[in-house]
Amino acid sequence: MSSPSLTLPSPATARNRRLLETLGALAIAGTYIYLVLNQPADITGGPGSASALIALSGFLIGAVLLIIGVLPTLPVSTLVLIPVALVLNIVLGQFVGSTLVPFYLDAIGTVLIAVLAGPAAGAATGALSSIVWSFFNPTVLPFAAGAALIGFLAGVAARHGLFRRFYLAPVAGFLAGIIGGVVSAPVAAFVFGGTSGLATGAIVSAFRSMGDTLLAAITKQALISDPMDKAIVFTLVAVLVYALPRRTRLQFPFVRRYRVLAGTAISRPTGGSTGKSTGQDA
Amino acid sequence: MRLHPLTSLAAAGSTAVITTAAASWPLSLTVIAAAAGLSVAGGVARRMLPVVAVILAPLVLSLLAMHGLFFPEGTTVLAQWGPARVTVEGLHFALQRAAQLSAAVLVLLLCSFTISVPDLVAALSARGVHARFAFVLASTLTLLPAISSRLGRIRQAQEARGLVIMPGIVGRAGAFRWQAVPLVLSLVEDAGTRSAALQARGFGSTGHRTSYRAVQDSPVQRWVRLVLVLAAVAAIAARLWQPTAGAS
């Protein structure tokens, strides 16, 4: 009597996707732990290409699994925003990336999607951004896992209301930057043997001149650059999101459901709106 | 005969993996020379050169400055100024890494400059890779030039309304807001319209799809792709089996 639904995913496919997401997260975490535990033997003895390969394959497999798990579950209204986010990442990041500022600003689009559509969409956007961007700049490909992590953390911050108060957004960005920077540091160390920008390279050199190992120096550089960078990015995204008209903001179910932004409370049909209506757009 | 897009992608990917795994001077330099030769032969050298320069110049300079001057593990000192020491080991490490990375970057860029994006999208959808990934890829690659020009028009419009970019961080942030808000606003609105149009055309459905565009493929190319992927996996396995073999 009950024919299989043509539009809704069956419970088995939903379980498979959850499994893919978990495997992807495990691959990224496992790769990071392995690299940190095994690093001292490798970096100075020879070119360290075994670690480079492990970093590349582990992080990339994790990112691809996340994309395969998340992408089919996104609604079309979120999916069409992903290319827009990617273009914003590329247009703004390409400009800042190799200049004399130790920041990247290459995650504005990713964080924007995460705030509007949630952690899963943010993670998929981060990973996709690195993969698509590598068509123009192959050096960003290894950072797919770090970008996915930033997208995920931004979504989690948005869900817990850190974008409701304007001053909390940079704090959330700072914390996300610490985690993202520490996870991305082994990629910079083992795949690139340094960083790809001049200003970030100068900071690493300063730590190296004090006798740090390469991974330690790059991790310290990441702890200087990334939290500041992500604090700036989260603030810029908060500015952008609050500048959007209320109608546009409220078209995203994630924003309505978790009351991500101040003044986006839905008036309940039982009467009496929850929260003050402070949604002026001026 | 034209190469199938997945064949050139597999060739570029496995060359990059094998070069990284081998970590040998002669191979890296051969790959760099081959990629340069192929780009000239394919007529894309002129377009590729600025992109390569923008990516590789900061990378190589940063590596040389970082390891050439500061390499605490180095023992053979060539010159010393205060805390900066030029060591043979540091220069060797920097040059080796630079050659390896340049080879991988050149090969992958050559692939993306010669590949036909519509063919790649058609090939990906035909292989059962989610049509959604193909949409994201194609949409980004076609949106990018359009959005860059739209950003230019927004800047002109705001300048006509009296926007002056002040020096200093506050002035720049203000200018950023005046340009980014209209851009993001129009992009989000466009995306909403596009989403409705796509949904009306059955984009969200999961049924079988047919494509207007047929990409030529041959059994030989299928075999070549399989061999390339296996070679890359074998290279990774060999390197993990003997982590320090052939390290010069």
pLDDT, tens digit, 9 for 90 and up, residues B107-128: 999 998 888 888 888 888 776 5
Phi/psi at B77 (nearest 5 deg)? -90, 130
pLDDT surpassing 50 at residue B248:
no
Identify the pLDDT of residue A92.
Answer: 73
Question: Based on the number of CB atoms within 10 Å of its own CB, is A265 exposed (0-12), middle (13-18) or buried (19 or more)?
Answer: middle
Interface of A with B in 91-150 (CB under 8 A): 91, 98, 112, 128, 132, 134-139, 141
Q: Using the beta-carbon criterion (under 8 Å), do A192 and B135 form an inter-chain contact?
A: no
CA B10 to chain centre: 14
Mean pLDDT of all residues in B203-222: 79
Phi/psi at A213 (nearest 5 deg)? -70, 165
The more confidently predicted of residues A251 and B12 is B12
Identify the pLDDT of residue A158.
Answer: 94
Identify the pLDDT of residue A279.
Answer: 40
Question: A88: which chain B residues are within 8 Å (Cβ-Cβ)?
Answer: 184, 187
Q: Using the beta-carbon criterion (under 8 Å), do A84 and B65 form an inter-chain contact?
A: no
pLDDT band at A221 (very low <50, low <70, confident <90, very high): confident
Q: Using the beta-carbon criterion (under 8 Å), do B133 and A137 form an inter-chain contact?
A: no
Mean pLDDT of all residues in A66-93: 86
Mean pLDDT of all residues in B31-38: 93
Question: B132: which chain A residues are within 8 Å (Cβ-Cβ)?
Answer: 71-72, 74, 79
What is the nearest CA distance from A272 to chain B, expressed in angstroms?
Answer: 30
Of B54, B65, B97, the CB nearest to A201: B65
pLDDT band at A156 (very low <50, low <70, confident <90, very high): very high
Q: Using the beta-carbon criterion (under 8 Å), do B198 and A90 form an inter-chain contact?
A: no
Q: Using the beta-carbon criterion (under 8 Å), do B130 and A46 form an inter-chain contact?
A: no
Instruction: Report chain A's mean pLDDT, rounded to a whole number.
Output: 80
pLDDT surpassing 50 at residue A275:
no
pLDDT surpassing 70 at residue B29:
yes
Residue of A nearest to B17 (CA): A53
- Any chain B CB within 8 A of the CB of A266? no
Place of tokens 């247009």: A91
CA dist B129 and B131 (Å) reads 6
Instruction: Report chain B's mean pLDDT, rounded to a whole number.
Output: 83
Please list, residue by residue across B157-174, b when 16 or more beta carbons sit within 10 angstroms of its beta carbon and e when fewer do: ebeeeebeeeeeeeeeee
pLDDT surpassing 90 at residue A122:
yes
Mean pLDDT of all residues in A86-91: 86
Residue pair B84/B68 in contact (Cβ under 8 Å)? The answer is no
- Any chain B CB within 8 A of the CB of A57? yes
Identify the pLDDT of residue A261.
Answer: 84
- Any chain B CB within 8 A of the CB of A218? no
Question: Based on the number of CB atoms within 10 Å of its own CB, is B199 exposed (0-12), middle (13-18) or buried (19 or more)?
Answer: middle
**CA-to-CA dists, residue B131 to A19, A92, B204, angstroms:** 21, 27, 10
Identify the pLDDT of residue A272.
Answer: 40
Nearest alpha carbon to residue A110 among A150, A76, A65, A138: A150
The more confidently predicted of residues B1 and A277 is B1
pLDDT band at A274 (very low <50, low <70, confident <90, very high): very low
Q: Counting runs of H as helices and runs of E as strands, what totals does chain A give?
A: 12, 0
Identify the pLDDT of residue A273.
Answer: 41
Residue of B nearest to A205 (CA): B66
3-state secondary structure of A118: coil
Q: Using the beta-carbon criterion (under 8 Å), do A244 and B184 form an inter-chain contact?
A: yes
Residue of B nearest to A198 (CA): B62
**CA-to-CA dists, residue B125 to A68, B129, B132, B191, B194, angstroms:** 14, 6, 9, 22, 20
Identify the pLDDT of residue B175.
Answer: 74
Identify the pLDDT of residue A209.
Answer: 81
* Listed ranges A141-155, B62-76, B208-222; the one with the highest mean pLDDT: A141-155
Amino acid at position A76, single letter: V
- Any chain B CB within 8 A of the CB of A19? no
Q: Using the beta-carbon criterion (under 8 Å), do A83 and B140 form an inter-chain contact?
A: yes
The more confidently predicted of residues A80 and A103 is A80
Say what the ipTM of the complex is: 0.84
